[in-house]
Amino acid sequence: MKKNEILHNKIITTMTQKLEQAGLDGQLGQEILNYLKQTLNTHLSIENDIKYKIVFNTDNFQSKNRRNWERQLYNDWTKAVNHFELFCKSDKELLNELNYIVGRKIKKDRHNFILQNKKYGQREMSYKLPGFCQGYVDFDKIIEELKNKSRYTINFNSFYDIRQGNFFKGCHIYIFRLNGDEANE
């Protein structure tokens, strides 16, 4: 039995005891318990379906006040996406997310956020890398390597041509292969 299944069973047992103590061990108590079980089981099945986790890490980025509005926007975006996580259920979904991150796919994004500054005004942004990604990263190779390794690291600068500078120094995307209890940690 996995960690989350044990935790879910403990929650059900504790809730059953609390409902009995509150005098709700009749039909209403049973309905509450059934709803709780259904919610926990749905949560558990979703967690077990997750195969990959993508994490943006910009902890080592040197944030500073930039001279022009575009660089300031990139600077603020880099701070905003730190520790942003995406979860993928399949190799195809991982490939789609990576293609979106570098701007090769267009989709309506549910993870948009607003950045605001005097230099660039108010902008709606997503987790897609800013600018024009001209570098080359072999996504198929990454997926193959993740079959043998549990983590793969991509430097943000790998997505850009070397002539575009080293703006994103210290920024990475980590891709974790999850299986079993690793998905819950």
Which residues, including other chains, have CB under 8 Å from residue 10's CB and lie 6 or more apart? Answer: none
* Residues in contact with 73: Cβ distance below 8 Å, sequence separation at least 6, in sequence order: 115, 117, 119, 120, 123, 130
- C-alpha 92/C-alpha 77 separation (Å) is 27
Name the phi and psi angles at 4, rounded to 5: -70, -35
Taking the model in full, what pTM does it have? 0.69
Average pLDDT along the chain = 82
pLDDT band at 145 (very low <50, low <70, confident <90, very high): very high
3-state secondary structure of 165: coil
